[in-house]
Copies of this chain bind each other. A is one copy, B any other.
Amino acid sequence: MAGASTSMRLRLPIACIALEVILIILFGVAVEYDHDVSGEAGHKTNTTHHDYENEFYYRYPSFQDVHVMIFIGFGFLMTFLQRYGFSSVGFNFLIAAFSLQLATLVQGFLHTIMTGGKIHVGVESMINADFCTGSVLISFGAVLGKTSPVQMLTMAVFEVILFSVNEFILLSLLNAKDAGGSMTIHTFGAYFGLMVTRVLYRPNLDKSNKKNSSVYHSDIFAMIGTLYLWMFWPSFNSAITLHGDIQHRTALNTYYSLAACTLSTYAFSALLNHEGKLDMVHIQNAALAGGVALGTAAEMMITPFGSMIVGFLAGAISVLGYRFITPFLESKLKIQDTCGVHNLHGMPGILGAIVGAITSLAATKEHYGNGLTAVFPKITSDFPASAQAGMQAISLVVTLGIALIGGIIVGFILKLPIYGAPSDSQCFEDGVYWEVYLPNAYCIELGCNNVSITM
């Protein structure tokens, strides 16, 4: 790709405007307000009380927490790179704003296959669209620094569709439980992205460019992302569960998993460094693995005790992944995983799927009381807990299959030389796609003007 134009002067406007116009037309044709958005439920003739029971009040705070995770959490987590902050937070913003619109359509379309009629939008569709967007951003983390924005928009188009198909198979056909998306969001997004970055392998990346690392301030910016993801993960896992004790329990279990995961992360980060020094990459990422690993089981009766064990394991696995598996993936399998999504989303996602399947085995009246059918609506005397556990396991296999095959195919689509991708020496550089003014160190002292850096 070296030498090819990276100009976005025409590519990006054409992509953005074409995609947005198509979205607007499809929204005009196929979308209508959900009944508690339009007021069609006829409540105006009822008591005020009805207005207080609008889904808005029971979902919107969760939605906003998820929204912050998508735009601030993912966006700032990726600003750790020294000269790629504009792109990290800026392309994250662009891709997310696009994906949530497309996801609303594709998820809604698949849902209407079951129900008929138009696509209904409201706070639930907003949360589901953000979930799909999260999966796209996980894949973005794998290819971060090595792709053009048009390439990312193209990836998002295909990934949103494949995500929605996989989600539909799991939740609607296999009746799997996965409220926090260990499988649908994390496993899918990670392995899809890893396959894409494998196909886009750049053999000369390391030799020509050392900017694939952090500097002091960029690591502190990244901690903003980490902490928002960590704090709001209980809201993420519980955002779309049934109301009442289930939602309450989901948030609580996730909170304990994350707390235990944090101590595990610090322990293994120090242990694996020959001077016993902590590594910011581990803290920024592995401490979040406890949220990923409880994405399936958090709504179940896993107990705080079980949640903490899962979180502790997730943190350990994740740090070990950064230390040993990421270098192996890069050197042996030619998978260049910029943010280490395999360690934060891939392995902990699989762990979460397994924990979910195992926890499903204990889905009995004894543990759940009358709440059993609320958590597991399919479980009956004819469909025992073991069958549910089997469906959970099959769901993981299906997810991995669609993610791996889909990622390879989309990787080849993204390899076409039409997207204005950066050359190897331009990777991890904001200046390729952004007007950048870097501070002149002398000038900070002396008050002279800034110098524009071009490349």
Which residues does A use to contact B, with CB under 8 Å? 7-13, 15-17, 19-20, 23-24, 27-28, 31-33, 36-45, 48-58, 60-61, 64-65, 67-68, 71-72, 75-76, 79, 82, 85-86, 89-90, 93-94, 97-98, 100-101, 121-123, 126, 149, 210, 213-217, 219-221, 223-224, 227-228, 230-232, 235, 242-249, 251-252, 255-256, 258-260, 262-264, 266-268, 270-271, 273-280, 283, 287, 301, 303-305, 308-309, 312, 368-371, 373-374, 433-442, 444-445, 449-451, 453
Contacts and interface: CB of A to CB of B under 8 A. Distances in A.
A382 to B, nearest CB: 21
The 7 tightest CB contacts between A and B, nearest first, are A9-B276, A51-B244, A441-B441, A44-B370, A97-B262, A16-B267, A39-B245
A34 to B, nearest CB: 8
Given A71-B227, A72-B228, A86 B280 contact: yes
A273 B432 CA distance: 13
21 contacts: A12-B271, A16-B264, A27-B256, A37-B249, A39-B249, A42-B369, A44-B371, A51-B242, A52-B58, A54-B245, A54-B247, A67-B231, A85-B216, A86-B220, A94-B266, A101-B308, A216-B436, A220-B221, A277-B434, A278-B433, A438-B445
A277 B227 contact: no
A28 to B, nearest CB: 4
A123 B245 CA distance: 11
Contacts of A101: 256, 259-260, 308
Contacts of A244: 36, 39, 43, 50-52, 54, 56
Given A216-B438, A252-B123, A304-B31, A97 B20 contact: no
A207 to B, nearest CB: 12
A235 to B, nearest CB: 7
Given A9-B271, A245-B38, A287-B93, A122 B252 contact: yes
A38 to B, nearest CB: 6
Interface residues of chain A: helix, strand, loop or mixed (majority) = helix
B445 A441 contact: yes
A438 B433 contact: no
A20 B260 contact: yes
Nearest to A51: B244
Given A36-B245, A75-B227, A13 B280 contact: no
Contact of A12 (B270, B309, B449): B270
A17 B319 CA distance: 14
